[in-house]
Structures are given as C-alpha cells and as structure tokens.
Amino acid sequence: MKRFLLTAGLLAALAFLGAPASAQTGTARGKVVDDKGQPVPDAAILLEYQGGVTRMGDTKTNKKGEFTQVGVYPGVYRITASKEGYQSAFIEYKISLGDASYLPDIKLLPKSGAGVPGATRDELGAAFKKATELTAAGQWDAAEAAFREILVKTPSIPEVHYNLGYVGSQKKDWAAAEAGYLKAIELRPNYGEAYVALARVYQDQGNAAKATEIMAKAAETAGDDAKVQFNLGVFFLNAGKNAEATTAFQKAVQLDPSSPEPYFHLGTIAVGQNQVPEAVAHLEKYLSLNPQHPQNVATAQGLLGYLKPKK
C-alpha cells in the first residue's frame, strides 16, 4: 500500500485551491422542542425568505426533533414550526453562505397551555420578532434593548438570554455575552447551542482551555446533539488532541449521518496518520453530501487527487 507523507505545508497549499463557483447557498439546521425541552418529531417546518423575494422551503423534523434544509439562499428567514396539538411558533434568523447555520431551538407549547405570565403569546411573539429583526439588521444596541424589554415581563425564556449573549458577542462585550449564554444554560441545562456559543466567546478571548472545558460539559448534558459533538471535535482538534477529536467527530456522524463537515475532519485526521483507505472513504463521503464550505471542498478534492491511485 502506498504511504503518503503529506506535510502541513502541502495541506495549507491545498486549502487555497480554487473552489467551485456554484456553491452559492447555505444550510439551515435546527431543532424543535416542547415546553420541557424534549424533541418534537414530525413537526412541519416552513422557511420563508424575508428579503422581498418569494423563496420558501419546507421540511419535517426527524424522531430527534431535528431538521435540515439544504440549498438555502443566504438572507433572513422566518422559520415556523407547527404540529397538531401544539401552538405554532417561529423564529427569524439570518442564514449564511457556506457553513451550516445552526438555529436556536424552536419551542412548541401545548395548545392547552396558552398563557404566558406577564404577557400574551401575541405580545411576546411581536416583541421577539422586533428584537430579531433588529439583530438581523446589525442594530446591536437597539436589539439588546428590545430583548431586555421582553425580560421585564417574561424573565425566564432561554432563547431571549441566548440572543442577548449573541448580541454581546457581536459587540465584543464579552462579559455580557458570557452572562447571556450562562443564563440560557441555567434555564435550559441541555441547551447545546448556548454551550457552543459560550465556548466560542472564551475561544475568541484566547482562552482555549476554558472553551474546551465548556464543550466537555456540553458533551455531558447535551451529548446526543450532533452539533455539540462536532464543535467538541473542532476544539479538541485545535488543541492538538487528535484522538479525542476523532471520537467526537465519530459521535457527530452517528448522531447526524447527513452532516458533511465531520467526515471532512475525520478524513484530514486520517491523512495525517497515513491511513489512506480511511482518508479516501471519509473525504469521498464528505463530497457526496453537498458540502457548503468552499475551502474544505477544494481541500478534499485536492487530497483525493493525491491519495487515489492514478488509472
């Protein structure tokens, strides 16, 4: 069997190979939960573009309450979740080009429990819509004020605190970002997105050890969340802990076989370990899943060109 000694310089060079010009869409991934934080399967998901052009997409949640919509043009979308026996709910979120956009959880309340202390459902929905619109427009101070206004009447909504954390991170107000994400986790201990976002806050401040610690806690409380396992793998990879990273990426693949990026990282780790058949299998699987990261696509294609025997 051929053995390939691919240096860091070669990998870096491959990363700058030309990317396909057709990768002009993104991917939306999310989860629908009930009032107890449990997954809601078979919920209908409708994505509606808010940019003045009619663009829509629809899908359903799987048995874990998760959904994926590929081929989404970038921009702000209203994502509505509905299921018989529950009140419909929506969020507004900006879908980015390239890497998958991981949406905050959408919570569906039973129709029998319509009341929200201190505010009606319509008032809360309108206030949240206003705050998310300000966020999408990059009006950080106004968005923060709008989310804090919601908390005056309804102080225990995890998504509001999560969004305050996000606004704080965009303003590089790290204390506010940390406080928002920590409160979201306090209110919903299995809030995977909040753990990931909090870890990024620590990472952006150069505290990789704290970031990895938070992701380890996320694995304990939200270990069945594919994106938590994926981000845990990334943090381990950045820390040079390839064995731990491999385990996390493998768990991410088991939890969500349709997500391409874990396969890419498993493939590059295998390259570094001269495990050629494993590297080829992972990278080919990655490319078969409609990946949306142009640089990674180019790297995978370049690596396969070196690894596969020439016919």
**Local confidence band at 62 (pLDDT 50, 70, 90 cut-offs):** very high
Task: List pLDDT tens digits, range 157-213.
Answer: 888 999 999 999 999 999 999 999 999 999 888 888 889 899 989 989 999 889 888
- Decide: 33 and 40 in contact? Cβ < 8 Å: yes
pTM: 0.59
Task: List pLDDT tens digits, range 107-139.
Answer: 888 875 444 444 566 777 788 888 888 988 899
- Decide: 70 and 290 in contact? Cβ < 8 Å: yes
Residue 31 backbone phi and psi in degrees, to 5 = -145, 145
Interhelix angle 226-238/208-221, rounded to 10 degrees, is 150
Q: What percent of the chain has pLDDT over 70?
A: 86
Alpha-carbon span 45 to 65, nearest angstrom = 11
Neighbour count for residue 25 (Cβ, 10 Å): 15
